[in-house]
A and B are shown apart, each in its own frame.
Chain A
Amino acid sequence: MKKLAQVGLFALALLIDSTRLINIPLWGGIHPLLFSAVVVSFAVSAGAFTGGLWGFIGGLSFGLLAGNPQVGLLTMAGFLSGSLPVLLRPLLFWRRWTSQVVLGFVSVLLFNLVVFMVSVIRGETNGFSWLTGLRMTSDAVLTAIISPMVCAGMARLEARH
């Protein structure tokens, strides 16, 4: 039942992200990456591998939707954003609740940075503009705000089942 609820929540987050249901019309459109917040909440309770696995699945789903050549890129971004922040938790930890905020922020920043850096290596992107940076950071900040709520929701779900 718990697993089913987790899968349902994860799928809902992916759907909301890919349909841009939550979109703030600033700097060409910014949005929290809900899927990252959900993955972080899984990783906080079950470890880096679980986070990496869910991130991998999420990135792969986005990649399969977006098509060539982004399938591997988004999978890699999802995997790293799900696993690395939790592996680096001893460095990022400050207080219990701030840890969740920082993890959400770092997770989305990593997701966007991996996509950016791989596309720079491939020669698809010319350079870093301040507006791109602003959008990446804004997405990360929005996700950081909702991360503790998602973590609390997941903890409640875990306690109930």
Chain B
Amino acid sequence: MFETPKNLTTGRRKSRRRISPRMAWEFAGLAFLGILATIMVAFPGATLIILSPLRGVVTGVWRAGMYSVDAVRGVGTGGVRMLESSAQLARENGELKKKLEASVGVGVMREEEMRELVRLRRLLGLRETLSDRWVSARVIGGDPSALFSTLILDRGGEDGVREGQPVAASAGAVGRILSVGQDYSVAMWLCDPRSRIAAYVQRTRVLGVLAGTGVGCELRYLSAGDDVAVGDRILTAGRGSVFPKGILVGTVTELRKDGLSVSAVVAPAVNVRKLEEVLVISRTGPLR
């Protein structure tokens, strides 16, 4: 019925594929967004300054959302119980079941409170060993990427938190503050690939640099003659004024030799994915 016209010189049919105005706009939009994103990658500092008003709004909304999620986590079991009981109201034994479920719910909540108490007591124990000023904070979020490990804390500049301050938990060292907002802050985990701190082997006092690998840590720049063994505990060295000396970082799980240099794979003492409360140390000094 319809034939595409032939090119008179070549005899080939002309292609009917054309770029519609909508497609052109879409490609232009994609190119614009791509350029914008590239500029943002190249100038992250300037980007943050320009977007700082937006950052305040986003983090404000986010914090409210994060607290809601936190609350949902806590009352999730209670909510399920309420739904179950409303479905069984018509039955004769509904009242008894409701009471039973209510008592189970209270039990679950008490168990949760008891666990929190244990965690907070441990944290208090750590707090008493630190002769420094500290700020306690709750972990309200984290980094979504598989590579980096950052935590969002509910304390910020108005609570005395500053960039570079060390963060610790009851199990050991966590990381340091990467950026600070008015009422929140972002902490970088020790195992983040960007993290480097001085650390030493507790048993033999051998000093090295603890570097993050994304999924764990490595104690680097050890020499072949250094006495380091699997199972050794690694502590913060207190050099560079980031961490106070003597906070547990992790345990050596493997030794890797590459010519004259040796590095030790360290399993971190703190599981960052399970952290709920931390201490931000605002002024460092020796441990008591």
Which residues from chain A sit less than 8 Å from chain B, CB to CB? 11, 15-21, 23, 25, 27-31, 33, 35, 47-49, 52-53, 56, 59-77, 79-80, 83, 111-112, 115-116, 118-119, 124-126, 129, 131-132, 135-136, 139
Known: A115-B148, A116-B147. A52 touches B44 (CB 8 A): no
Q: Is the CB of B193 within 8 A of A135?
A: no
Mask: chain B, 25-62; 1 = CB below 8 Å from A; 0 = not: 11101100110111111111101100100110011001
Q: Is the interface of B mostly helix, strand, loop or mixed?
A: helix
Q: A76 to B36: give the CA distance in the assembly, Å.
A: 9
User: Which 9 A-B pairs rank lowest in CB-CB distance, beginning with the nearest?
Assistant: A67-B179, A72-B40, A29-B273, A72-B41, A49-B26, A69-B44, A125-B193, A76-B37, A131-B215
Q: A67 to B178: give the CA distance in the assembly, Å.
A: 8
Nearest Cβ on chain A to B214's Cβ, whole angstroms: 5
Q: Is the CB of B33 within 8 A of A52?
A: yes
Q: Return chain B residues, CB-CB under 8 Å to A47.
A: 26
Known: A71-B47, A73-B41. A28 touches B145 (CB 8 A): no
Q: A56 to B38: give the CA distance in the assembly, Å.
A: 12
Q: Is the interface of A mostly helix, strand, loop or mixed?
A: helix
Q: Return chain B residues, CB-CB under 8 Å to A15.
A: 62, 65-66, 69
Q: Is the CB of A48 within 8 A of B26?
A: yes
Q: Taking the complex as formed, is B143 at the interface, i.e. its CB lies under 8 A from any CB of chain A?
A: yes
Mask: chain B, 206-233; 1 = CB below 8 Å from A; 0 = not: 0000010111100000000000000000
Nearest Cβ on chain B to A63's Cβ, whole angstroms: 8
Nearest Cβ on chain B to A73's Cβ, whole angstroms: 6
Q: Taking the complex as formed, is B105 at the interface, i.e. its CB lies under 8 A from any CB of chain A?
A: no
Q: Is the CB of B38 within 8 A of A76?
A: yes
Known: A20-B273, A131-B215. A71 touches B148 (CB 8 A): no
Known: A67-B186, A72-B43. A132 touches B147 (CB 8 A): yes
Q: Which of B51, B146, B194 contacts A124 (CB 8 A)?
A: B194
Q: Is the CB of B215 within 8 A of A129?
A: yes
Q: A83 to B145: give the CA distance in the assembly, Å.
A: 18
Q: A112 to B214: give the CA distance in the assembly, Å.
A: 12
Known: A23-B273, A132-B146. A66 touches B186 (CB 8 A): yes
